[in-house]
Structures are given as C-alpha cells and as structure tokens.
Amino acid sequence: MSIFLLLFFLSLLTITSAIYNGGRRRGGYRPDSWSSSSGESYEGHHHHHHSHSDEHYPPPRPRPPPRPRPPPRQQCQDGWKFFERPSGGWCMKVFPGTWNQATSESMCQAQGAVLSGMQNIAEINYIVSSALTVISPAVSGGVWVGIKRRAECMGQVLTGTCTKTNSFYWTDDSTTGIEGMVFQLNEPNNGNAPPGPSRNQDCALLTVGHTPTINAVSLYWSGQMDDISCASAAESFWPAGTLPRANRAYVCGKAANRRG
C-alpha cells in the first residue's frame, strides 16, 4: 500500500516539475540564481529519465534563445557588510571615533561613503554588534548615523506635525521608510533647551550596549536612537553620568559595487 502512495507522489512531483519548467521556459520568471540552478538540476534529472518522460509528454519546444545571464553579484570591499535594500545593494562599516557629526560625515566621504541610515532591524543589529567591537574596551556608547532633523521641525518638540517618525529624515540617499527609524521612548524630544530656536537636537546617536539597556542618568535601550546636538561629547559638556552613551563611533555606508 505505502509503496503505491510513494509512487503516486513521485509521479505528482514529476508532473509538477514539468509544468513548472514549461512555465519557466515561456518566460514567466525572472532569470535569477535560484531558477537557473534549480533549472540545471532539473535538466539533469530529466535527462536521466529521458525515455520515461518522452512517452508521456510532448516533445520539447524548439530551444529558446539563450536567457540573459543572471545579474552580477553585488559586492562590498573587505570589512564592509552587504545589505540588500529596496533601493539596491548597500555596504556598511562602523568606525571608532569621537568626532562630531559633521567631521564623522567627512570621514565617511573620504572613503567614498556617507554616514549610513538604517533600513531595518537587521542593519541596526549589525551596527550595534560591530560598534561594540570597535569601541572596546568601552562597553557602551553612541554611534552617529545618517539622519538629520527636518527643517520644518527645527526648534520643535514632538507634536502632531513633527512626529516620532517624520521629525527626522535619512541623509544617505539610500535608506527608505521608517522600519529602522527607532527612537528611544519619548524621543526625539529636542529636549536640550527651553522652547525656541536654542533647541538644536538636530542629529541623532544610536545607543549601543552589551546589555539591553544602559544607565546614563536615565535608562537607554541599546539599538535605539536619541536626538542630540550635532556636537561631540568633547565639544559640548557631557556630565559624567551621561558619558556611557557618548559618541564613540560612526557608521559609513555606500552603494555596493556591481561586478560580474
């Protein structure tokens, strides 16, 4: 009994593969790596059972013109981490450094990159992990990322029009959406001055720590941002209690190379 069931499913599998392969040959699928590799393995399988298949299926159609080669793999230089983004391939690397935001941006540009935004949680996790490595032996700190306060929200606190996810925008010309725009609770608050133009938390630091939260006067979550002035901790006075989240690194990003 079970051997017949097995044969039944095997034949179903063969028919399904044949239908799939027929559809693929009519051009219903984009040429990419998985379809070409599964196609090749099927061809081998098909060849192996050549006499069996030919008794049950129409002869193969005339061979179509060669399909275009799969798109070349996107690559990053050694030490840069590749991420696939909706806007395309992106390479990221975290560097240690205690400069202010503008100088950190310049340091990235010297390498043909910019301060990187954060597309999603996977990128955030990578930055946290990599930053903790490069700032060692420090066990926590802040990382400059490619994000700036929108002009319309300068001097503003959180309001109906300047919200948690639209007060800032990504500056790297690559990051899209707000999945990676994760601010600490009640941030971005532009909270460094009384109401008015002296509120200038126009940049943001990503907090990183070996523990889920770090205590820097109050609790800050690792992997979340806080808006802050674009000055470095050294340029502007940071009380000792706040230093566990002082800027100690920055993350650069650039478009991935395409090479075939």
Smallest separation, CB 116 to Ca ion (Å) = 21
* Nearer CB in complex with Ca ion: 172/187: 187
Tell me which residues in 162-221 interact with Ca ion (CB under 5 A). 187, 189, 191, 201
Q: Is the dihedral of CA 189, 190, 196, 202 positive or negative?
A: negative
Smallest separation, CB 240 to Ca ion (Å) = 19
* Nearer CB in complex with Ca ion: 134/226: 226
| Among the listed residues 227, 244, 246, 251, the single contact to Ca ion using CB under 5 A | 227
* Nearer CB in complex with Ca ion: 135/204: 204
Cβ contact 48:10 at 8 Å: no
Is the bond leading into 66 cis (omega within 30 degrees of zero)?
no
DSSP one-letter code for 189:
-
Helix, strand, coil shares, percent, the chain, to 5: 30, 25, 45
* Nearer CB in complex with Ca ion: 122/178: 178
| Among the listed residues 141, 226, 232, 255, the single contact to Ca ion using CB under 5 A | 226
Residue 242 engages Ca ion in binding (rule: CB under 5 A):
no
Smallest separation, CB 201 to Ca ion (Å) = 5
The rounded distance, in Å, linking the Cα atoms of 18 and 58 is 11
Q: What is the DSSP string of 3-45?
A: HHHHHHHHHHHHHHHHHHHHHHHTT-S---HHHHHHHHHHHHH
Smallest separation, CB 166 to Ca ion (Å) = 16
Cβ-closest position to Ca ion: 227
Smallest separation, CB 186 to Ca ion (Å) = 8
17 burial class (0-12, 13-18, 19+ CB within 10 angstroms)?
middle
Q: What are the residues binding Ca ion (CB under 5 A)?
A: 187, 189, 191, 201, 226-227
